[in-house]
Amino acid sequence: MAITDKIYVKNHRQLSSQLETSIPKGAFKGATLDILFQGEGLEKLDDATRDRVLDFASDFLDCGCENNPYCGCPERKFIRYLLDLRAQGLGPDAIVDVMSDDYMLYAYSGDILSFLDSAVRTLEAAEGLAEVEGDRESLEEIRRTKRDLAK
């Protein structure tokens, strides 16, 4: 399961009741994206919640793909966001705190930890491949990213 399947809407019950409709807990579930980010009723949300929802939409759902938000861009951008936080030196708990402040989302820090571990393993595999192929440019970039994540 991708990490984006383990990102949840905080206060999801409260949000559902404000919207007077039931939304799934998973932030990247199709129905959540539809209701929260394309649907009507955002005016029913309180200001703080609406701001966060709008921030999420403008940060992750802003691509011009025809099948937005089902094009994969939101998930890719969110993964980038997680890796950036890690590169800033944040640990799993702090990353969860930040996503909750930024977008009213939460995840279990254990899930974030295994996501980061597997990102490093993916980079290691890519590093090995670049070594075999003698691709110096990719190798340097991969090593730089790996160093960032290992902080």
65 binds Zn ion (CB under 5 A): yes
129 binds Zn ion (CB under 5 A): no
Alpha-carbon Rg for the chain, nearest whole angstrom, is 17
Q: Is 108 left (phi over 0), alpha (psi -120 to 50) or beta?
A: beta
62 binds Zn ion (CB under 5 A): no
Q: How far is the CB of 93 from Zn ion (least distance, A)?
A: 30
Q: By three-state DSSP, how is residue 29 classified?
A: coil
2 binds Zn ion (CB under 5 A): no
151 is written with which tokens? 């902080």
Span near Zn ion by CB under 5 A; candidates 39-47, 56-64, 91-99, 111-119: 56-64
84 is written with which tokens? 């950036």
CB-nearer residue toward Zn ion: 32 or 49: 32
19 is written with which tokens? 């919207």
Size, binding site for Zn ion by CB under 5 A: 4
The Cβ of residue 140 has, within 10 Å, a number of other Cβ atoms equal to 11
70 binds Zn ion (CB under 5 A): no
- Name 136's Cβ contacts closer than 8 Å, sequence gap at least 6: none
Site pattern 71..100 for Zn ion (x: CB under 5 A)? x-x---------------------------
CB-nearer residue toward Zn ion: 65 or 129: 65
Give me the residues that bind Zn ion (CB under 5 A), please: 63, 65, 71, 73
